[in-house]
Amino acid sequence: MLSWEPVLGQEHVQEMLQQALAKGRLSHAYLFSGPEGLGQEKVLQDLVESLSCSGNILAPCGECPGCRAHAGGSHPDLHLIAPDGGSIKLEQIRALQHVLSLQPYLGSYRVCVVQGAEFMTIQAANSFLKMLEEPGERVVFILLCRSPESLPKTIVSRCQVLPFRPLAPGILQDRLEEEGVPPERAKAAASLAGGRPGEARRLLEDENWAERERISKELASFPEMDGIRVLALAEEWSQDREKADIFLDMALLWYRDLLVLATTERRDLVINCDHLPELAAQAKRYTPGELLRALGIIEGCRSKLAGNVNLRLLLEDVFFTLTKEVV
């Protein structure tokens, strides 16, 4: 069996792929489904490395032209497609049709990886479906998406779906502690990441953790925040849509925690567990109805971010809503 390094929580996916390679029963198309940060990239890298070897896919030699090309990041049999300008277009799919009809140049297979498969346009999806229906010899498609439900059923039915599942927060917390993360921070990161190791490690990077702490401080101060500060905050966070999205994601989790504390005694359900004292004090200042309204406003704001809106005015609206006087 292949000596792939185990990916925590995704051993079931690795085992299925390893058995398929060992028995020579590779599917012509795989669908890696699940939110980012669960180890899809590591499993993908190991699978592509095996398929790139021109000698033995069960034990890539690391020395043949195929292995060297893969290590150098320029394997002629590996074809990557990703959203361009927010979508995967028909032209991107058409560009593959001829090259995938050819025999592998260096490796054992031609491999086509489609990142963000759910972002294919209707035209692109229809064209891609035709390739799945009539795959060339020694071609393997690997699609990555958040959920099979986000793709046309006709495409999903022609793929072997490999679900990547989030870890239980306790398991992820234990792993982070093994890696040297302090227990309280490991617990918070595991909860915030929703059981996704990659997201937890991203959050724990110094710059990202500092930003999270800063946002938490702002959210905790909303009940006392005056109008001048609200306007300044909206102006600051409207300079970058990606940053604004991060702020709103944090706000959604923060107010969700407030609702939990306002309606239950289940402190163990709090996601921002390292800020429990501030949350408990703040929760006493709201009614459940006010918190539900605040959550609805935040969700509405997030859904509008992708559109052509005045971001500063949008943030002003939601930030004013999150002050005690307006809620």
Percent of the chain with pLDDT over 90: 61
Last residue of a domain, one of 176, 204, 232: 204
Q: Which two tokens stand for residue 169?
A: 């927060």
CATH number for the domain spanning 282: value is 1.20.272
- Which tokens hold the place of 202? 């991203």
Range of the domain at 39: 11-163
Same domain, 222 and 147: no
Range 270-294 average pLDDT? 93
Q: Are residues 118 and 24 in the same domain?
A: yes
Give the chain's domain count: 3
Task: Tell me if 1 is assigned to some domain.
Answer: no
Q: Which residue has the tokens 């702002």?
A: 218
What is the per-residue burial (b if ≥16 Cβ within 10 Å, else e) of 309-321? Answer: eebbebbbebbbb
pLDDT at 2 over 70: no
- Each residue of 176-217: pLDDT tens digit? 999 999 999 999 999 999 999 999 999 999 999 999 999 999
Does residue 234 carry a pLDDT above 50?
A: yes
The reported pLDDT for the residue numbered 326 is 45
- pTM of the shown model: 0.81
Provide the pLDDT for residue 175. 95
**CA proximity to 150, closest of 303, 32, 305:** 32
Residues 156 and 221 in one domain: no
pLDDT 10s digits, 12-55: 999 999 999 989 899 999 999 999 999 999 999 999 988 888 77
CA pair distance 283, 190, nearest whole angstrom: 23
CA dist., res. 76 & res. 74, Å (int): 6
Residue 93 belongs to some domain of the structure? yes
Q: Name the average pLDDT for the chain.
A: 90
Rounded distance, CA 325 to CA 327, Å?
Answer: 6
pLDDT at 289: 92
Angle 313-275-297 from CA coordinates, rounded to 5°: 25
Question: For 75-95, how does the pLDDT look when each residue is reduced to its tens digit (9 = 90+)?
Answer: 888 899 999 888 999 999 998
How confident is the model over 113-161, as pLDDT tens digits?
Answer: 999 999 999 999 999 999 999 887 889 999 999 999 999 999 999 999 9
Judgement on whether residues 303 and 314 belong to the same structural domain of the protein: yes
Q: How confident is the model at residue 259 (pLDDT cuts 50, 70, 90)?
A: very high
Q: Which of 154, 178, 204 is the last residue of a domain?
A: 204
d(CA 176, CA 180) in angstroms, rounded, equals 7
Same domain, 171 and 158: no
Range with lowest mean pLDDT among 26-35, 100-109, 241-250, 272-281: 100-109
Buried (b) or exposed (e) across 60-85, using 16+ Cβ within 10 A? beeebbbbebbeeeebbbbbebebee
* 182 and 144 within one domain: no
Residue 91: its pLDDT value, please?
93
Closest CA to 315 of 223, 246, 213: 246
Residues 174 and 216 in one domain: no
Same domain for 217 and 275, yes or no, is: yes
